[in-house]
Structures are given as C-alpha cells and as structure tokens.
C-alpha cells in the first residue's frame, strides 16, 4: 500500500542546482515552481532549465507547478513539459474548476489543484470531479488575501474541513495543507502539521528542506500508535466473540484504524 506524499517541497524553477538536492532532502514529493518563485522575465529560461533536467531523468521524480490559466506562460509551460520522462505530474495554481485543466490534460500525467481563491473553495464539488485530478493543495496565504481574512489558524479551519470532505467524497488523495513561512520556528511547524493531520490532511507544503523531517514525522504514525495497532491485531488473532484492548471494546472502525496505522508504517518505511 502506497500512501500520499506527506512533505511536498517547493524549489524555484530557475535554480536547477537545487533540483537534485531537493530530491535528496527526504521530501516525499518535490515541486519545481514556474509560478511565484520565478520573476516574469525569467520564466522562459526557468522552463528551459526544467525541461532539460526532466529530459535527463530516467524515471519520474518531479511535479511542476505551471503558471496559472490566463497568463502568457501557461500554454507554453504545459507544451514544453508534456511527455518528459522525469515528470510525475503538473500542479495548477489558482484552480477554480474543471475547465481550467483543459490544456493540462494533454500532458497525460496526474494533475494537482492548488486551491487559493474564494471561488475555488466555493466550487470544490465541481473541482474535485475534474478528470485526471488526484489531489488538492491549500494555498493558505493567497486565499487569505483573496478572502480578506487575517490568520491561517481557526480563521480558515472551516475551509480545511471542506477540502478534506470534498476530497474524500470524490475519491481523491487526502489534501495538502499550506505552508508555514517562519523557517526558524520548527516547534510551530510541528504544531501546524499536527493540526493539519487532525483535520484529515495527508501532507503539508514545505518551502525549505529543513522543514521536511518535521512534516514527515507529523504525518507518520507515532511509536505509541504502532504499539496500540499491533496489540489490537494481536488481540484479534484467533479471538472468538468480543475483544477489548486497554479496556475498550474493539469493533470494526477500531480495527480499520489499526490496519491504517500499520499500513502507514510500511508505506513510509518505518522500522517494525
């Protein structure tokens, strides 16, 4: 069983010397960025650098965030990258509906939607039904600006719940929560990631390699979780009738949760 990427690390598309370093950082997914991280006069050059890097890779390793629909660069980004062996998927910023992905479908790779506008949030049912879409990510900073909301905690937790529920209903991977911009506050990052996991997110966007290990740990089962799951499965082995662990009756939802914990341990390569 393979679980969704936990840590999703952005790398500027005009810094090719960082591509392999990012891939070696421990991040579950690396996004080469052609949008916010690259100035307008550098976008064509960054696209060429990404093209050359992905053309030289034997197996897919990277997702590329292309420029948004309606910009001068969107179509050229998709056409230049389609079919390259190192391309794992494409991410569309400011995604708001299925029609926004028309050009990207030609690349025939999994598509990721970065939700960062009010319209995108209100259109989640249709967005999640987009053919070829595999996952949503929450662009919390841009969303706050668009909505006129000041704060990325309780102020937008209702949106987090909407993204999780609509993703689940559409059969998408658990969504990705937004960035934590304070690179020095690792404790704050850990709290943010733990909150994201409690809300049902499956990962978190990262803007620096130093954030990767903390995010990975937050979305992996703890040693306590694994110990509990193993005891649940042991108690069930050969049992007849009702079974209790830690004084609590073990029913199907509890068993399902225990199996999820053990599957996560295996998927994320944690020691047994």
Token duo for residue 89: 């998927």
Strands 176-177 and 87-92: unpaired
pLDDT exceeds 70 at position 78 = yes
pLDDT at 1: 44
Please check whether residue 111 is in contact with residue 132, taking contact to mean a CB–CB distance below 8 angstroms: yes
pLDDT at 59: 84
Q: How far apart are CA 61 and CA 96, in angstroms?
A: 26
pLDDT exceeds 90 at position 58 = no
Q: How far apart are CA 180 and CA 177, in angstroms?
A: 9
List pLDDT tens digits, range 115-128.
999 999 999 999 99
Domains of the chain are 7-219 (3.20.20.60), 223-267 (no CATH)
List pLDDT tens digits, range 209-227.
999 999 999 998 878 887 8
pLDDT exceeds 90 at position 154 = yes
Q: Which residues have a Cβ under 8 Å from the Cβ of 220 and sit 6 or more positions away?
A: 6, 264, 265, 268, 270
Please check whether residue 75 is in contact with residue 68, taking contact to mean a CB–CB distance below 8 angstroms: no
């Amino acid at each position: 069983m393979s679980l969704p990427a936990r840590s999703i690390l952005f790398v500027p598309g005009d810094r090719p010397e960082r591509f392999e370093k990012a891939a070696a950082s421990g991040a579950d997914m690396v996004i080469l960025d052609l949008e916010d991280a690259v100035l307008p006069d550098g976008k064509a050059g960054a696209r060429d650098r990404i093209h050359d890097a992905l053309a030289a890779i034997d197996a897919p390793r990277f997702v590329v965030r292309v420029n948004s629909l309606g910009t001068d660069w969107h179509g050229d980004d998709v056409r230049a990258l389609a079919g390259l062996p190192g391309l794992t998927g494409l991410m569309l910023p400011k995604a708001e509906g299925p029609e926004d992905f028309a050009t990207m479908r030609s690349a025939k790779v999994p598509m990721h939607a970065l939700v960062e506008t009010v319209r995108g949030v209100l259109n989640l049912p249709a967005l999640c039904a987009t053919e070829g879409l595999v996952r949503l990510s929450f662009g919390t900073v841009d969303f706050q600006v668009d909505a006129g909301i000041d704060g990325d905690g309780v102020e937008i937790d209702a949106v987090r719940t909407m993204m999780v529920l609509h993703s689940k209903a559409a059969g998408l991977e658990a969504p990705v929560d937004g960035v934590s911009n304070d690179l020095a506050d690792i404790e704050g990052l850990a709290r943010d990631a733990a909150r994201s996991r409690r809300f049902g997110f499956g990962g978190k966007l990262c803007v620096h390699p130093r954030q990767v290990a903390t995010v990975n740990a937050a979305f992996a089962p703890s040693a306590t979780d694994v110990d509990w799951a193993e005891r649940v499965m042991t108690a069930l082995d050969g049992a007849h009738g009702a079974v209790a662990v830690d004084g609590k009756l073990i029913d199907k939802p509890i068993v399902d949760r225990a199996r999820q914990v053990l599957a996560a341990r295996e998927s994320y390569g944690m020691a047994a």
